Amino acid sequence: MRSGKGIGLVIVVIVSLMLASLLVGSVIREDESITSNDEFFTVSITDPPVIDPDTWKLRIDGLIDFPMELSYGQVISLSNVTEKAEIRCVTGPSATAYYTGVTLPEFMHLIGVKDVASEMVFYCADDDGEESYSTSLTIEELNRDDVLLAWMMNNETLPINQGFPLKLVVPGDWGYKWAKWIVHISVIDSDYKGYWEKRGWADDATITPITDWVTHSVLLTFAAVLGGIAALSGLRNSKSGEISSKVPEVLPRKYHRYVSVAFYALLLLVFLFWATVTFDNRGAIFYTFHGRIALITIVLSMAGILTSLPLIAGADRWRTVHFVTNVGGYLMLLITIVLGLILALG
Q: What is the pLDDT of residue 5?
A: 47
The rounded distance, in Å, linking the Cα atoms of 314 and 187 is 69
pLDDT of residue 237 exceeding 90, the answer is no
Same domain, 54 and 190: yes
pLDDT of residue 112 exceeding 50, the answer is yes
pLDDT band at 176 (very low <50, low <70, confident <90, very high): very high
DSSP secondary structure string for all residues of 40-92: -----SSSPPP--TTT-EEEEEESBS--EEEEHHHHHTS--EEEEEEEE-TTS
Same domain, 40 and 67: yes
The rounded distance, in Å, linking the Cα atoms of 49 and 53 is 12
Mind listing the pLDDT tens digit for each residue in 328-338? Answer: 888 888 888 88
Same domain, 282 and 143: no
Same domain, 50 and 116: yes
Determine, yes or no, domain membership for 40: yes
Compute and round to an integer the Cα radius of gyration of the chain.
26
Same domain, 175 and 277: no
Q: Which domain holds residue 233?
A: 2-29+210-345
Determine, yes or no, domain membership for 205: no
pLDDT band at 29 (very low <50, low <70, confident <90, very high): very low
Determine, yes or no, domain membership for 44: yes
Average pLDDT, the chain: 83
Determine, yes or no, domain membership for 326: yes
Which range in 54-68, 91-105, 278-292 is most confidently predicted, on average pLDDT? 54-68
- Average the pLDDT over each of 218-222, 302-306, 310-314 and give the range with the smallest value: 310-314
Compute CA distances 334 → 178, 193, 199, 211, 285, whole Å: 32, 37, 31, 22, 20
**φ and ψ at 323, to 5 degrees?**
-65, -50
Edge-to-edge strand order for the sheet containing 182-188? 68-71, 57-62, 182-188, 119-127, 132-138
Same domain, 42 and 102: yes
Higher pLDDT among residues 188 and 320, named by residue: 188
pLDDT of residue 13 exceeding 60, the answer is no
* Crossing angle between the packed helical segments 319-345 and 289-312, to the nearest 10 degrees: 160
The rounded distance, in Å, linking the Cα atoms of 56 and 39 is 27
Determine, yes or no, domain membership for 333: yes
Q: What is the pLDDT of residue 16?
A: 55
Same domain, 279 and 339: yes
Higher pLDDT among residues 291 and 18, named by residue: 291
Determine, yes or no, domain membership for 118: yes
- Quote the distance between the C-alpha of residue 224 and its chain's center: 20
Mind listing the pLDDT tens digit for each residue in 157-171? Answer: 999 999 999 999 999
Same domain, 131 and 237: no
Helix (H, G, I), strand (E, B) or coil at 14: helix
Determine, yes or no, domain membership for 245: yes
Residues 154 and 37 sit within 8 Å (Cβ to Cβ): yes
Residues 189 and 117 sit within 8 Å (Cβ to Cβ): yes
Same domain, 186 and 235: no
Q: What is the pLDDT of residue 320?
A: 80
Mind listing the pLDDT tens digit for each residue in 137-160? Answer: 999 999 999 999 999 999 999 999
Residues 231 and 308 sit within 8 Å (Cβ to Cβ): no
Of the residues 129, 164, 199, the one at which a domain ends = 199
Of the residues 199, 225, 246, the one at which a domain ends = 199
Determine, yes or no, domain membership for 43: yes
Looking at residue 36, its amino acid is S
The rounded distance, in Å, linking the Cα atoms of 105 and 81 is 12
Higher pLDDT among residues 252 and 22, named by residue: 252
Q: Is the pTM of this model over 0.85?
A: no
- Average the pLDDT over each of 7-11, 128-132, 181-185, 216-220 and give the range with the smallest value: 7-11
DSSP secondary structure string for all residues of 154-193: TTEEPPGGGTTT-EEE-TTBBGGGS--SEEEEEEESS---
Domain count, the chain: 2
Same domain, 319 and 173: no
Looking at residue 309, its amino acid is L
Same domain, 189 and 259: no
Of the residues 138, 164, 199, the one at which a domain ends = 199
HSE on the CB side for 252, CA within 13 Å? 11
Same domain, 243 and 174: no
Question: What CATH number does the domain containing 152 carry?
Answer: 3.90.420.10
